[in-house]
Amino acid sequence: MTSILDQLTPADARTVLAAGTPLTLPAGWSPIAEGTPADKAYLITEGEVSVRQAGQEIARLGAGSLVGEAAIVNHRLRSATVVALTPLRVVHFTSARLADLLTEVPAFGEAVVAAASARVGGH
């Protein structure tokens, strides 16, 4: 699985990681719920999540994946629920901090906007 950080220089990757808050989340926890406001995003550094729409799994994501960004970038309510399948290590970003990073680190901004566009798929 490719990490969104792989698209950045080491310095930009450090800037992105330092901008958020590292957290450990338990298996079974749902950090993002479908239909809720876009107030945060998470970069998964360890573990695996299930992404679900209307209770049906549509994807599994792991280390290097950013979740929650599509609703922030597209100014919409959450389109899916994210459930931790394993204990997770993540970097938490508020929506404001993520928005700032999109301009502060242009390569990250481009990667996030591209990922968000692909995930929404015109919905």
- Over range 84-91, report the average pLDDT: 98
CATH class of the domain comprising 4-120: mainly beta
Q: How confident is the model at residue 122 (pLDDT cuts 50, 70, 90)?
A: very low
- How confident is the model over 9-50, as pLDDT tens digits? 999 999 999 999 999 999 999 999 999 999 999 999 999 999
46 closest CA partner among 30, 23, 29: 23
Spell out the domain ranges in the chain.
4-120
Tell me how far apart the alpha carbons of residues 19 and 77 are, in angstroms, rounded to a whole number: 24
